[in-house]
Structure 1
Amino acid sequence: MRLSWPEVRARAQQFADSWRGESYEKGEAQSFWNDFFQVFGVPRRRVAQFERQVQKLGGGTGFIDLFWKGVMLAEQKSAGRDLAQARQQALDYLDGLKDSELPRYIVLSDFQTFEMLDLETSEETQFSLEQLPDHVEKFGFILGVTPTTFRDEDPVNLEAAELVGRLHDALKDAGYSGHDLERFLVRIAFCLFADDTGIFERNLFVDTLESRTREDGSDTGPLLAQIFQVLNTPEDLRPRNLPADIAAFPYVNGELFAESLRIPSFDGDMREKLLEAARFDWSGISPAIFGALFQSVMDPQARRALGAHYTSEKNILKVIGPLFLDDLRDEFERIRVLKTGRRKRLEEFHARLASMTFFDPACGCGNFLVIAYRELRQLEIDLLKELQAEREDARTLEMDVQFMSRIDVDQFYGIEIEEFPARIAETALWMMDHIMNDRLGREFGKSFARIPLKKSPNIRHADALETDWDDLLPAERCNFLLGNPPFLGAKVQTPAQRAQVRRIARLGGSGGTLDFVAAWFIKAAEYAAKADKAGAAPPRIGFVATSSICQGEQVAQLWPILFGRGGVEISFAHRPFKWGNEARGVAQVHVVIVGLDRRGRAPKDKRLFLYPSITADPQEVSVPVITAYLTDGRRLADPHVVVKEEARPINGMPSIISGSQPIDDGHYILSEEEYRELEASKPAEARWFRPFIGAQEFLNGGRRWIVHPDSIPPAELRRLPGILERIRKVREFRSRSKRKQTLEKAQTPGDFNVTVIPDRPFLVLPEVSSERRDIMPIGWLEPPVIPSNKLRILPDATLAHFALLTSAMHMAWMRLVTGRLKSDYQYGIGIVYNTFPLPPGGLETLATPRIESLAQAVLDARAAHPQATLADLYDPDAMPADLRAAHRALDRAIDRLYRRQGFDTEIERAEHLLALYEAAAATLIRRPRRSRSR
């Protein structure tokens, strides 16, 4: 075990006294640095070398005075010499080093002064030899203590995961796989981390591997098995004749090394891959991020997008902040400033922190638990510093600090369906525990470590949806439920997953179209209810979910369950924002964060985080109630109102329909090039093809062509063998279908599955529109165009209809209630158009010369740019100023039809429309429901 900081400072003082007045470089430089490393109890020869030869950029040869590969480069000069020259010399040496050798720190000295440059942070420090005891923590990296910063994306985590990935592949290719490989790699990751962070003596693991194994790797597996066995054996039970370097490994416990594994067979290449990972500096690894990256090494396909699968710390803090951390921090700050009873309240607060439990029922590699643990431990450190100030003798606390830390990993619970990430979660929590123990020790000048491990995280390898959560942690003992359950949409779930959601939701019939994540929300609400019934304070809940649970038809399925039999209220929420991190290959999905409390226990003031744009930082507002759409519900008679899909318009608008759906396997459709070839070779057939426009063509230009055989007179059709052949192929294609409706359509192959062939101009809305657009482009088409089913069409539309549907009010409603296709808006007729609340007075208020002229101004502004497609015109970065101005003028006019003072933000529009919908739905005489429009 490494020296404590008080011991290091005492040694630093002895070193300063011993070397005071020394000034000759060549004679004593090496002795100086040997003694310097002994200040930290680390033999210099174990980590660094003298006179490392390096090729200079200009072609000459230089010699680095002291070099520690990947960590430190030192240049020594005689006392009084200009260290600026030594600094330039050191920087010049960097050009001759490999990337893997580049140090983080440059240290310059003339015996009596030190200058230190951190190349990663650009921080520079200067101090005298006699000040060394006061600055000795700057050299904590010698002990394996590196100032730990946690960033959303740090290349060091990716590099470490890739190193382990290469070892994984080599082992697997050699036939070492499955459970043994997974457990083996978890152990290796712990040893690599321990070797650089003070759990082991510095570089004990890598030195043992290098010195005790042959280059051909033949004895590497047995040596590792022996090390693992020693790590699992208390010192007093080990063989007395163990070699000293093997015996130097500490007893770890925690069951990490308990299981007996098959011993892998190494070769020289595999040994080198292990050594490459071991030589890497693991002291800067974030356990929270690395866990998920480490899991990805097990899947080469996932590794191609390495980094895409972890949750950034920034986003985790968005959950745990309003769930518990902000409240705890606020309480601590209130206690800190008390004039009387301060110590007693601090101790009571500490006891409460130590009793809290945290449960992630879909924990994966433990990211949420690890960050929650780190933040709780940091709060405890701050608390202990306040308690220290209360003591008359601060040394008493320094002596007791290892007993004063009362928060431990056994307060954290998780369920994970895959075994490997479950084990990673345990290991990551232990890694974070060590980091925080080290931080605690540095704060109070006392070495503090929990080795051997006495407590373990409570991580269960199980299917959370098939597990009674009370078996792991009784609901009445749980304080906080948190996490990021799987997002799978209804259409991509396996039959077993759909059955799980259907059983948990109890919706009956087809079971609805709920995302997989909805099942965790329902189970969490029921779990909290158990605690409430038992008379205990129920756990607070904070989950991440796809934004679809608060948009589209899912809202009407899920939230009545949660508000009703679940008995919960929304206490805090982040409206949709873009989820992800800066890693390559990262998935960019839109998510919400929802915090739930049992009704009656929710705070009076709810916290709602609004995003001016999908990628902006949030703006927090306090509201009395939050709706299922994550809006301020104070204007609603029933804040639990949900918008239900309607088969026909309930707002007085004319019906809108989808375009033609051929279901023809492409036989009736031609590209522009194919059509031109047909026109040249068979003009009699080509004249029956009509332009076929879908959302892609409508927005981006271009066209396809389609034939509708049933529109051709039979006598003419018989003289068109090419089209007859297309009919035959469509009949065969439909006959092979498993869908009853398609099989029936095989009997009429000359017709489309859905036939919509307008005979007059019609207004169109694309089914899917990019989430980047502020305005979904709509416009008119006219015969002979046949619209595809990817367009929604409104026959006989007027300028008033166009004005309303292109307005900011309609866009706000669409974004509030529509579903999504990936992250793009998917315009649902039944849920968006048929329910859209009209302004007071209805359509008549829109059919005015002023509104129509403003609508025409939008169309005129488009026409002023004839070479631009609608995608060009409505790109938010490229939208012409005249078109934007025309839309703004129209928006202001439409806004004032709804409310005289208009609206400042989209969220205001959405909240106003939801109140109008509630009023309309309350007075609506429900008609028998027909089949849903799509």
Structure 2
Amino acid sequence: MNPVEIEQAISELAEAPFDAAEFPYAFLEAFGRKATEIKKLRKGDTNKSDLGGVLQRNNIHIATCVPGAVSDTLAALKNSAATTKFKAKFILATDGQEFEAEDLIGGETVACTFQQFPDHFGLFLPLAGISTVKQIRESAFDIKATGRLNRLYIELLKDNPDWGTAERRHDMNHFMARLIFCFFAEDTDILNGEDLFTATVDQMSNRDGSNTHEVISEIFRAMNTAIPKRAAANLPRWADAFPYVNGGLFSGSTEVPRFSKIAQRYLSHIGGLDWTKINPDIFGSMIQAVADEDERSVLGMHYTSVPNILKVLNPLFLDDLNAALEEAGDNRRKLANLRARIAKIRVFDPACGSGNFLVIAYKELRAIEAVINERRGEADRKTDIPLTNYRGIELRDFSAEIARLALIIAEYQCDVTYRGQKEALAEFLPLDSQNWITCGNALRLDWLSICPPTGTGVKFKSEDLFQSPLDQAQIDFENEGGETYICGNPPYLGSTWQSKEQKEDLERIFGARSKNWKSLDYVAGWFMKAADYGLHTATISAFVSTNSICQGQQVSMLWPLIYQSEHRIAFANTSFKWANLASHNAGVTVVIVGISNINIEEKKIFSVSDTGETVAKVANNINAYLVDAPDITVSKRAKPMSEIAEMTFGSKPVDGGNLLLSSEEVADLNLDVDVQRRFVRPILGSEEFISGKSRYCIWVTDQEADEAKSLPTIASRFEKVRAMREASPKAATQRGAAWSHRFDERRQSGDEKVIAIAAISSENRDYLPCGPLRDGTIISNKLFALYDAPLWNMALIASRLHWVWIGTVCVRMRTDFSYSNTLGWNTFPVPKLTEKNREDLTRCAEDILLAREAHFPATIADLYNPDTMPENLRAAHDRNDETLERIYIGRRFKNDTERLEKLFDMYTKMTTKVSA
């Protein structure tokens, strides 16, 4: 279950008649606990309570009680031996009138009426397997409102299926935006009357909802009719009480979908919520899912955390402004200059979604302006910051409308906070009709016309804020001397998952500049468009991106083009997880990269230390790998540049599957034991090596070929290999028909000592899968191998240093590492090792292998699960890292950023030396 579904279930439970005996089970069911779990608890099989309540191991201890005994019951639950013994995370007591609970891990408590406990449902989300984000837990209203609106939306589509078609989707979405405004406006006194909208609809509608659409339509018409024109408009008397809103929100068609009785009841319930609690920077990104059928399954998860947004905005411009504010102190002239500067700052998000980045930017600048006004003794001063300075482009029309609405709500809330509700109300209506959010494809629109450079004098005024043209929105704008900052979180999409239209988008941008553009991530388009924009005006841009644009082959494809536009990386936040709620975390590892054509004196790299702390480092230069190092590109090498063993692929069958065998197929060959031992070998690829799966192959030398062909079961497989290779369109494969008894590409005799390295492995492991194989094992081309190499080479591969290097310079497949011998191993900088260094590293590799052996038959996948990695194995790797890193710099590295900086410094010196 997602948070919206949970909130609905909990709300229904709070509204139902209280049943003391049934409540604990109903409460658990509301959080999505399985029916089999509930059944076992009811029977008493798994109920561990010692107080007559319900205790689910490792979860919650619940007890109902007689009226007035809630506090005493909660204390008894806390002191219960069973609570401690069975590790309950929560305790809960209620008598149907009062409700008390405590998070025994975090210490948070709840004490409220029974009817109010759904407002605190976020505390219990771990019961549903959801690790909560603090901002979401504190915003139960936003989830509740999203759920109510979603149910209304679905119900309306049932009765108005034509409104769900592509032709009318905009009408439906626009209608929902109008409703949201009405709910917010009536609870904040904007509509001149308590619950004016909801109460009017309830009073004037028939009980079956048959005329509700007509009532709402008249209300919308009234809010689009200026006061002087009201008499001629012939509005009903009850609609005349609504103010003139303008701004395009209610212009155009006032048609409303028809309401059933159920839909009208949903509308009433939504109006009953306290819309003063709306948080536009959270609500917007959740509500956008209401209109997207594919996204409703994770409704309530659409939330971009404010701290993550500030990782972009702080280094982009907020840190500088806050420093200027501190430097200004109480100097009235400096404060006035800073206020004038802030008033001219434009923030442009060309992938704005529901406006999160723009809303946060606006609120942060309003906060700085408020401090300035307070220091100057002008606390009641009207803001100088226009909403039109906050520009956006969004592909989905509903999200674009919500972005505009979110900014309007944010402006009103800031006015209330900094000037008071009376002043805010006096200036809120009518809304301005200027349009600052464009609905369209950001990679095909002209950014210069949507956010024109200062002083260009582009003149265009939209008549309708909420009915913008799909191509672009150009507005009257004079902002000479102002600063422009471009930011956002564009869609990432690796090349494999791009649609035909998205490929065309990238071709428009990169087709004439690069032959290899087809391999670029979709997000690269935003970086290039930002760089092109910067050719016309000084600007700084920063985007959240998958880290793949700063790794592997994409570095050489994208960044030289960025550099050609005179842009350099101004700041960067190295890899971190960008998540919504942990249970539904997409697991996307991202970076934040800021580019600028302005000379930034203090370039900063932000990274997470090994202790989990975010640290900032001032860099001389930030290269495309997000390292303080020169602007270089790591290129493939045929041989190692350091004194390490040569690495090659394993052998490639090219056999149509006929030389590869399962255990059953080995038995079907019907060979005696000695022959099977000679001609059948275990074979491993990355999957078999990591997961311990068994696979075999027919392995016959040229000298043994005639003997093997005399065995019918083997000979038939050779014949199939021959036929398959002869039928191939490739000449090289056809030539392989002459040696159908063996792998087409054979790189081992089968008698070597082999250290294997997985070609593909998950980035979630802290170390790369590698290790020696049992004698006689064949490796496929899905593994790399060091043949007859000293064991100390394994210590290098199994180190954090090598993990970081591979993760940076090699190609990624989704979020997995794609190892490369030519790009990753041959370029890996290793200092000259003494004999003592080699001995120490050999011992470290042996210790790792001994630690693994202690957990036989655990597989690599078992042993290197980051959540369950055995302590002795982790300790062995830690000793290996310490030994190796002391060879490099005489101590442990502080974090991965420092590791990369050292490696790139060595790489630069070694390649310069080689080329010289």
SS at match of 2:277: coil
Larger Rg: 1
2:226 equivalent to 1:234: yes
Alpha-carbon distance in structure 1 between the residues aligned to 2:596 and 2:602: 12
Unaligned runs of 5+ in 1: 1-51, 60-83, 98-103, 108-116, 123-148, 390-396, 532-537, 634-638, 927-934
Q: Percent identity, please.
A: 34
Shift of 1:895: 2.8
Shift of 1:655: 3.5
1:578-621 CA-partner distances (Å, limit 9, x unpaired): 1012265231211111122215x21x2222211025x9441223
Shift of 1:482: 0.8
Unaligned runs of 5+ in 2: 1-13, 22-66, 73-92, 101-109, 122-133, 455-478
In structure 1, what is the equivalent of residue 55 of structure 2?
A: none
> Is this contact kept in 2: 1:560–1:640, CA < 8 A?
no
2:558 equivalent to 1:558: yes
In structure 2, what is the equivalent of residue 520 of structure 1?
A: 526
Shift of 1:309: 4.0
Alpha-carbon distance in structure 1 between the residues aligned to 2:725 and 2:190: 67
SS at match of 1:452: coil
Q: Equivalent residues in 2 for 1:74-153 (5 A)?
A: 94=97, 151=136
In structure 2, what is the equivalent of residue 459 of structure 1?
A: 437
Change (3 A) 1:293 1:881: closer
Shift of 1:763: 1.0
SS at match of 2:519: coil
Alpha-carbon distance in structure 2 between the residues aligned to 1:857 and 1:871: 19
2:634 equivalent to 1:643: yes
Change (3 A) 1:649 1:617: same
In structure 2, what is the equivalent of residue 610 of structure 1?
A: 607
Equivalent AA in structure 1 for residue 803 of structure 2: M
Shift of 1:524: 0.9
In structure 2, what is the equivalent of residue 385 of structure 1?
A: 374
In structure 2, what is the equivalent of residue 627 of structure 1?
A: 623
In structure 2, what is the equivalent of residue 437 of structure 1?
A: 415
Change (3 A) 1:650 1:900: same
For residue 817 of structure 2, the aligned residue among 818, 825, 846 is 825
1:203-246 CA-partner distances (Å, limit 9, x unpaired): 22221221121232221222222222222122222247644442
1:890-921 CA-partner distances (Å, limit 9, x unpaired): 43433343334564444333211101111122
2:148 equivalent to 1:163: yes
In structure 1, what is the equivalent of residue 754 of structure 2?
A: 762
Alpha-carbon distance in structure 2 between the residues aligned to 1:640 and 1:418: 38
2:596 equivalent to 1:597: yes
| TM norm structure 1 | 0.74
In structure 1, what is the equivalent of residue 696 of structure 2?
A: 705
In structure 2, what is the equivalent of residue 11 of structure 1?
A: none
Shift of 1:317: 1.0
Alpha-carbon distance in structure 1 between the residues aligned to 2:290 and 2:710: 62
Alpha-carbon distance in structure 1 between the residues aligned to 2:118 and 2:499: 50
1:151-173 CA-partner distances (Å, limit 9, x unpaired): 58734323322322222223333
Change (3 A) 1:854 1:87: closer
Alpha-carbon distance in structure 2 between the residues aligned to 1:685 and 1:466: 66
Change (3 A) 1:444 1:747: farther
Shift of 1:91: 8.5
In structure 2, what is the equivalent of residue 133 of structure 1?
A: none
Larger deviation, residues 449-458 vs 687-696: 687-696
> Is this contact kept in 1: 2:224–2:251, CA < 8 A?
yes
In structure 2, what is the equivalent of residue 79 of structure 1?
A: none
Shift of 1:369: 0.8
In structure 2, what is the equivalent of residue 568 of structure 1?
A: 567
1:804-829 CA-partner distances (Å, limit 9, x unpaired): 32234323322332333333333232
For residue 321 of structure 1, the aligned residue among 308, 314, 337 is 314
In structure 2, what is the equivalent of residue 493 of structure 1?
A: 498
Alpha-carbon distance in structure 2 between the residues aligned to 1:449 and 1:503: 44
Alpha-carbon distance in structure 2 between the residues aligned to 1:275 and 1:661: 67
In structure 1, what is the equivalent of residue 248 of structure 2?
A: 255
In structure 1, what is the equivalent of residue 470 of structure 2?
A: none
2:649 equivalent to 1:658: yes
Shift of 1:433: 1.8
Equivalent AA in structure 2 for residue 562 of structure 1: I
Alpha-carbon distance in structure 2 between the residues aligned to 1:576 and 1:375: 25
Q: Equivalent residues in 2 for 1:666-685 (5 A)?
A: 669-672=660-663, 674-675=664-665, 678=668
Larger deviation, residues 693-702 vs 750-759: 750-759
SS at match of 1:486: coil
Alpha-carbon distance in structure 2 between the residues aligned to 1:734 and 1:230: 79
2:789 equivalent to 1:807: no
Q: Equivalent residues in 2 for 1:98-497 (5 A)?
A: 151=136, 154-173=139-158, 174-175=160-161, 176-177=163-164, 178-200=169-191, 201-239=193-231, 242-260=235-253, 262-338=255-331, 342=332, 344-388=333-377, 398=380, 401=381, 404-442=382-420, 447-476=425-454, 479-497=484-502
Shift of 1:729: 10
Shift of 1:448: 4.8
Alpha-carbon distance in structure 1 between the residues aligned to 2:710 and 2:182: 79
Change (3 A) 1:95 1:882: closer
2:685 equivalent to 1:694: yes
Shift of 1:574: 0.9
For residue 834 of structure 1, the aligned residue among 826, 837, 840 is 826
> Is this contact kept in 1: 2:670–2:713, CA < 8 A?
no
Larger deviation, residues 478-487 vs 810-819: 810-819
Larger deviation, residues 793-802 vs 235-244: 235-244
Change (3 A) 1:187 1:725: farther
Equivalent AA in structure 1 for residue 614 of structure 2: P
1:746-770 CA-partner distances (Å, limit 9, x unpaired): 9998776755555122111112333
Alpha-carbon distance in structure 1 between the residues aligned to 2:420 and 2:726: 73
Alpha-carbon distance in structure 1 between the residues aligned to 2:858 and 2:334: 68
Change (3 A) 1:776 1:266: same
Change (3 A) 1:453 1:611: same
1:309-368 CA-partner distances (Å, limit 9, x unpaired): 442222111111111112212222332333xxx2x3333322222222111112122111
> Is this contact kept in 1: 2:531–2:567, CA < 8 A?
yes
Alpha-carbon distance in structure 1 between the residues aligned to 2:624 and 2:560: 9
Alpha-carbon distance in structure 1 between the residues aligned to 2:887 and 2:15: 80
Please report the RMSD computed on the Cα atoms of aligned residues, expressed in angstroms. 4.0
1:244-293 CA-partner distances (Å, limit 9, x unpaired): 44222222111122121654233223333333333333332222222222
> Is this contact kept in 2: 1:501–1:516, CA < 8 A?
yes
> Is this contact kept in 2: 1:437–1:449, CA < 8 A?
no
Aligned length: 776
